[in-house]
């Protein structure tokens, strides 16, 4: 028996961070410290009484635009069968065709797309990973939130130790400062502190090609799991060249906002680690489309941020991935993900496995409802 979408509720949520954080884009003067994350939540209900929840997000700018765009086109989804996720996706793309098929246009749709996948898995009584076809019940997990550049080396060491004691398996820190020697000193100090613990660094796009080659060469000695975004995110050829030149894997992709942008890496001969972000690429539907192509190309996967979504998608990837741990979104949900033995474990709860908290309601700045109660 077919079903139909009865009601959609959109929420514009502003989540303050406990304290401002800075990566290399701040120290090089390109951005201001990050103080909050803005999210677009979608709650979907059907005629047969099934529900789903999804979200997308933005940092520094774009959150109100996501909310406004989806509010303009959301009524197109009312009455459609929630099982026909790609059909609904295409109808929303056409409803907002004049603003394109990437960036804010699809990041707005992403929140509804995630909610529909959550609903489909809940209706099946399965965790989303099991609905997709899981290859594993847990994924390797690393922490980033303790390694930002406003923190001293001693602070990073303390936070890294706490993360490892909490069961996290790897540590990532930020690099890419104006003084590259400071970067190397910090990396050496943290590597010494961590011993043989898996260790990653992230330059957040702050090197040109010449500096990136020199830094990658210097960093080879530290046995890193990867060097992330050494170049501008859209420099597919540059990232491909680096991925073939060094033993340390190169990772990139978190900033890309469409499947074609990610495919440019593969077309350029990239051999590194891909880091698609489901809310940024436009939802789970395009994420899965690119993941199939990345797996065919033999690329490793380490999705960016949003572990509440990406744990499921990583668990369904053919080769062993990494999932990024950020505790920032914890206040928005009633449940927590189990982390132990260096791994993040799939919840047994259906769908994504999360319900929205009262704190999420308190952080909501505006909301809109479409359809009928």
Show which residues are catalytic.
174, 304
To the question of whether residue 320 is assigned a binding role by annotation, the answer is: no
Name beta bridge partners: 370: 8
Name beta bridge partners: 300: 273
To the question of whether residue 130 is assigned a binding role by annotation, the answer is: no
Q: CB–CB of 90/113 below 8 Å?
A: no
Q: Which two tokens stand for residue 32?
A: 């201001």
To the question of whether residue 181 is assigned a binding role by annotation, the answer is: no
Nearest to 323 by CA among 91, 144, 117, 130: 144
To the question of whether residue 157 is assigned a binding role by annotation, the answer is: no
To the question of whether residue 330 is assigned a binding role by annotation, the answer is: no
Name beta bridge partners: 54: 42
To the question of whether residue 23 is assigned a binding role by annotation, the answer is: yes
Query: In whole angstroms, what is the distance from residue 45 CA to residue 208 CA?
Result: 48
Nearest to 57 by CA among 300, 328, 268: 328
To the question of whether residue 202 is assigned a binding role by annotation, the answer is: yes
To the question of whether residue 24 is assigned a binding role by annotation, the answer is: yes
To the question of whether residue 59 is assigned a binding role by annotation, the answer is: yes
Residues in the annotated binding site for substrate: 23-25, 59-60, 172, 204, 324
Known binding-site residues equal 23-25, 59-60, 172, 202, 204, 228, 254, 324
Per the annotation, binding residues for Mg(2+) are 202, 228, 254
């Amino acid at each position: 028996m077919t079903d139909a979408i009865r009601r959609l509720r959109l929420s514009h949520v502003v989540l303050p961070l406990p304290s401002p954080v800075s990566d290399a884009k701040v120290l090089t003067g390109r951005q201001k410290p990050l103080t909050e994350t803005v999210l677009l939540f979608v709650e979907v209900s059907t005629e047969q009484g099934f529900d789903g929840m999804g979200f997308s997000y933005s940092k520094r700018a774009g959150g109100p635009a996501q909310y406004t765009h989806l509010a303009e086109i959301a009524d197109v989804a009312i009455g459609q069968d929630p099982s026909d996720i790609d059909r609904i996706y295409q109808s929303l793309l056409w409803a907002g065709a004049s603003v394109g098929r990437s960036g804010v246009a699809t990041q707005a749709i992403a929140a509804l797309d995630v909610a529909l996948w959550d609903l489909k898995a809940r209706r099946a009584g399965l965790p989303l990973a099991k609905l997709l076809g899981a290859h594993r019940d847990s994924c390797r997990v690393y922490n980033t939130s303790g390694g930002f550049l406003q923190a001293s080396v001693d602070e990073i060491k303390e936070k890294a130790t706490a993360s490892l004691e909490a069961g996290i398996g790897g540590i990532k820190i930020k690099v890419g400062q104006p003084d590259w020697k400071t970067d190397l000193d910090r990396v050496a100090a943290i590597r010494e502190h961590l011993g043989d613990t898996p260790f990653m660094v992230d330059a957040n796009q702050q090197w040109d090609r010449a500096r990136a080659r020199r830094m990658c060469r210097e960093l080879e000695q530290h046995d890193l799991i990867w060097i992330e975004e050494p170049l501008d995110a859209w420099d597919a050829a540059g990232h491909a060249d680096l991925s073939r030149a060094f033993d340390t894997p190169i990772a990139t992709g978190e900033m890309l906002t469409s499947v074609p942008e990610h495919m440019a890496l593969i077309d350029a001969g990239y051999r590194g680690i891909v880091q698609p972000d489901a809310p940024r690429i436009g939802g789970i539907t395009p994420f899965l489309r690119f993941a199939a192509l990345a797996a065919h190309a033999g690329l490793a996967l380490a999705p960016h941020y949003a572990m509440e979504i990406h744990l499921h998608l990583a668990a369904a990837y053919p080769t062993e991935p990494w999932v990024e741990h950020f505790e920032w979104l914890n206040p928005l949900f009633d449940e927590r993900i189990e982390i132990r033995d260096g791994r993040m474990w799939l919840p047994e709860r259906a769908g994504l496995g999360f319900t929205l908290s009262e704190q999420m309601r308190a952080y909501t700045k505006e909301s809109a409802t479409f359809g009928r109660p």
